[in-house]
Amino acid sequence: MNDLFQHKASDWDARPAPAQISAGVGRALLERVTLRDDMTVMDFGAGTGLICAQVAPHVGRVYAVDVSAAMLEQLTAKPELQGKVEAMHVDILTTPLPHQVDLIVSAMAMHHVEDTDRLLQAFADHLAPGGKVALADLDSEDGSFHPSDTEGVYHHGFDRDALRAQLEAHGFSDIDFTTAVEVDRDGERYPVFLVTATRA
């Protein structure tokens, strides 16, 4: 796997946008999803663990999934995540986890996956019946959020109605969108949504 975040991982947590997004998404997630200490959670595109750190204290186990070994190296070095969070360097589209989970969370990872339908099906397959997703990403934007030479960006955000239809097509219900945070960058504002949905 080509690690597109290898040179970004070491200072990722110090960057203003990831810090702002993870704070807003974490706050919205904790407001909208009931977490229990017997839950197992997959954090898809876990990165350095900015969302994991907010979820882990409230659940039983978090599987931190990412294709970037460099980002996961930063995650596993954090003492507050020891014992509760298991880092997994894997692409779930080609190598599914051997078990299902109660909740899948993700922040700003979906736009890095080319085939959204295939990803949503993988989420459905990894969820126990009645399990939930809480997925955060950019609303549709003009492509200016990322520098033009950024590798691995397949979507300039997502249209909420189109994503709702895709979730429904993969068996999700109780689909609810909220704006988790708005990122200010170079005078432009980029809303980041959080969508929650339940697997039938």
Which has the closest alpha carbon to 67: 32, 100, 109, 28?
A: 109
Top-confidence residue, 3 or 126 = 126
Name the band, by pLDDT with cuts 50, 70 and 90, for residue 33. very high
Residue 151: per-residue pLDDT:
80
- C-alpha distances out from residue 53 to 121, 166, 170, Å: 26, 29, 29
pLDDT tens string 120-167: 999 999 999 999 999 999 999 999 888 887 788 899 999 999 999 999
**Phi then psi for 78, rounded to 5 degrees?**
-85, 120
Q: What structural domains does the chain harbor?
A: 37-199 (3.40.50.150)
Could you tell me how far CA 184 lies from the centroid of its own chain?
A: 20
pTM of the model: 0.93
- C-alpha distances out from residue 91 to 1, 68, 140, Å: 9, 10, 25
Residue 200: per-residue pLDDT:
85
Residue 13: per-residue pLDDT:
64
Taking the CA atoms of 24, 12, 3 and 101 in sequence, report the sign of the dihedral they define.
Answer: negative
Average pLDDT over residues 170-192: 94
